[in-house]
Amino acid sequence: MADAGEVLFGKIGLAQFGREFLGTAQLLFLIFIMGSHILTFTVMMNTLTNHGTCSIVFGVVGLIISFIFAVPRTLRKVSWFSFACERFLIAMKSKGSCITDESQPLEVFLRKLAEAI
């Protein structure tokens, strides 16, 4: 990404600025993505386990799991982790659709879901 900033801003004579700007933007993006994943893991563990363990503990566990999968510079292990998360989301969606009240129309269910969010 930083190289793209150098190319884009190089045309107006600000190659170094473009490199630093887009490199910093990518770094911030990746930090927020990792934070989002850890928060999602914490909420998932709180919901699934219904255990009295503190959310900080679940956050640290999620951090360790993410760190183990992200340490190698290749995306091989991260892709398997994302595959597992995708399968989990599909299972949760199918479970959620099975436990909904079938007597009410879909529009009513979606309205209640939107109000809950």
Report pTM: 0.52
Query: Would you state the structure tokens that stand for residue 75, as one six-digit string?
Result: 């995306």
**Is 48 within 8 Å of 39 (Cβ atoms)?**
no
CA 39 – CA 60 distance, rounded (Å):
10
- The per-residue pLDDT for 111 is 74
* Residue predicted with more confidence, 97 or 114: 114
Closest by CA position to 2, among listed 13, 17, 12, 11? 17
**Is 38 within 8 Å of 63 (Cβ atoms)?**
yes
Most trustworthy range by pLDDT among 3-7, 20-24, 91-95: 20-24
